[in-house]
Amino acid sequence: MTDIPKYKLVSRQWKNKKTIIDVKGCKIGGDDLFLIAGPCAVESEEQIETIASYTSKLGIKFIRGGAFKPRTSPYSFQGLKETGLSLLKQVSNTYDLGIITEVMDLSLLDTVYPYTDIIQIGSRNMKNYHFLKEIGKTDKPIMLKRGMDATMEEWLLAAEYILLGGNENVILCERGIRTFDTSNRNTLDIAGIALAKQLSHLPVISDPSQATGNRDLIKPASLASIAAGADGLMIEVHNDPKKALSDGPQSLYLEQLGDMMPDFAKVAKAVGKTCSWSHKHEIVNV
């Protein structure tokens, strides 16, 4: 074989100290459990406003929301595009929230860049190596979702492409892999979260929504992720999941999210993490 498919910059051997990414006052990869919540896609001003108002009261500092939506079918909702970005910015200003949203293609980087605090690379782009090289030249933190068919080594090598571009602020996000069992949308690779943390110094967060595709499983999948050592969670939530234009079945109702946050805090503390937001959540659902 002429290939040498081994990562270097992302490894613990290269840097034996956890990478902590400081963005909008959050220290991702540090002691505090990092939380992102928001809808799959930005759909309207009312929607994103209602959601952001609620999640910010919970103490969640980052909002997610797709503006350019990659969809399996061309006939599905494709996102509000620039309008969606503006709406994210609006709630970000109102509630002092960090934004994470996806750059689907290099040609969209300039459009998305001014709006977002963390650039999301979707699982479908994880093996788009030209894209990874170029995105590595940017100066904003990048969240790299694991491809649904990516081995651990391929995932870490994808991050290596970004670090080689010069950007060391990469957050790994496990979001489930594709397996034969379709009782869940994907199979959350919980041991993979722990393994990624052992092999790499980069922060690792979990996306229980994409992994399970089922709102009834978000809570146990979230608690398990925290217990396995995840540095954070990215959770889909919607003000009206039944009418969601995408991923409704895996979107939490707002109150469900509020209800489960005390449990997040309990498990986080059991494994030695802090929850700077935990003083907030008790008052929300009153």
Q: Are 42 and 66 in contact (CB under 8 A)?
A: yes
Select 48 or 97, whichever has its Cβ closest to a second copy.
48
CA atoms within 13 A on the CB side of 80: 20
Select 56 or 102, whichever has its Cβ closest to a second copy.
102
- Note whether 212 binds a second copy by CB under 8 A: yes
Instruction: Out of 19, 68, 85, 258, point to the residue binding a second copy (CB under 8 A).
Output: 68
Instruction: Out of 56, 209, 246, 251, point to the residue binding a second copy (CB under 8 A).
Output: 246
Residues 166-205 that bind a second copy (CB under 8 A): 177-184, 187-195, 198
Residues 90-119 that bind a second copy (CB under 8 A): 104-108
The distance of Cα 246 from the centroid of its chain, to the nearest Å, equals 17
Instruction: Count other C-beta atoms under 10 Å from residue 29's C-beta.
Output: 23
Residues 23-52 that bind a second copy (CB under 8 A): none
Decide: residue 230, CB within 10 A, 0-12 exposed, 13-18 middle, 19+ buried: buried
Select 38 or 241, whichever has its Cβ closest to a second copy.
241
- Note whether 257 binds a second copy by CB under 8 A: no
Rounded Cα gap, residues 10 and 137, in angstroms: 16
Nearest approach, Cβ of residue 97 and a second copy (Å): 26
Instruction: Out of 16, 25, 75, 139, point to the residue binding a second copy (CB under 8 A).
Output: 75
- Note whether 54 binds a second copy by CB under 8 A: no
84 torsion bin: left (phi>0), alpha (psi -120 to 50), beta (else) = alpha
Q: For residue 193, give both structure tokens.
A: 């979260």
Instruction: Out of 98, 203, 229, 258, point to the residue binding a second copy (CB under 8 A).
Output: 229
- Note whether 18 binds a second copy by CB under 8 A: no
Handedness of CA 4, 6, 10, 15 (dihedral sign): negative
**Contact region with a second copy (CB under 8 A), list: 17-25, 56-64, 85-93, 121-129:** 121-129
DSSP secondary structure letters along 26-45: EEETSSBPEEEEE-SB---H
Number of residues engaging a second copy in binding (CB under 8 A)? 86
The distance of Cα 34 from the centroid of its chain, to the nearest Å, equals 10
Residues 141-160 that bind a second copy (CB under 8 A): 147-149, 151-154, 157, 160
